[in-house]
Amino acid sequence: MEKGMSETEYQNSDLNQEQEAIDIRRSQTDPEAFKPLYEKYFKKIFLFTLRRVNEKEIARDITQQVFLKALNSIRKFQLRGLPFSAWLFRIAVNECNDYFRKTKKARLITIDEQVTESLFEEMMADNRLDELNAKLPAILKTLSPVELQLIEFRFFEQRSFREIGLLLDLTETYAKVKTYRALDKMKNRFLNDKI
Are 195 and 135 in contact, with CB atoms under 8 Å apart?
A: yes
pLDDT single digits (tens) 70-121: 999 998 888 777 788 889 999 999 999 999 989 888 776 766 667 777 777 7
The predicted pLDDT at position 13 comes to: 53
pLDDT in tens, 3-24: 444 444 444 555 677 888 888 8
Confidence (pLDDT) at 14: 57
| Band of pLDDT at residue 127, cut at 50, 70 and 90 | low
Class of domain 113-191 as given by CATH:
mainly alpha
* Segment 104-114, tens digit of pLDDT: 887 767 666 67
Residue 4 has a pLDDT of 44
Distance, in Å, from the CA atom of 1 to the CA atom of 170, rounded to the nearest integer, reads 33
pTM of the model: 0.61
Distance CA 27, CA 107 (A): 34
Quick check: 155 and 115 in contact, CB under 8 A?
yes
Phi then psi for residue 154, to 5 deg, are -75, -45
* Residues carrying CATH 1.20.140.160, the chain: 113-191
pLDDT for 126 beyond 60: no
- Between CA 169 and CA 155 the distance in angstroms is 19
8-state DSSP, 166: H
Query: Residue 2 has what pLDDT?
Result: 40
pLDDT of residue 181: 93
pLDDT score recorded for residue 8: 46
* CATH architecture, domain defined by 7-101: Orthogonal Bundle (1.10)
| CATH 1.10.1740.10 placement within the chain | 7-101
Split at pLDDT 50, 70, 90, the class of 140 is confident
- To the nearest whole percent, how much of the chain has pLDDT over 90? 33
180's CB contacts (< 8 A; 6+ apart) are none
At 38-73, the pLDDT tens digits run 999 999 999 999 988 888 999 999 999 999 999 999
* Least confident span in 50-64, 118-132, 139-153, 161-175: 118-132
pLDDT range class, residue 124, cuts 50, 70, 90: low
pLDDT value of position 155: 87
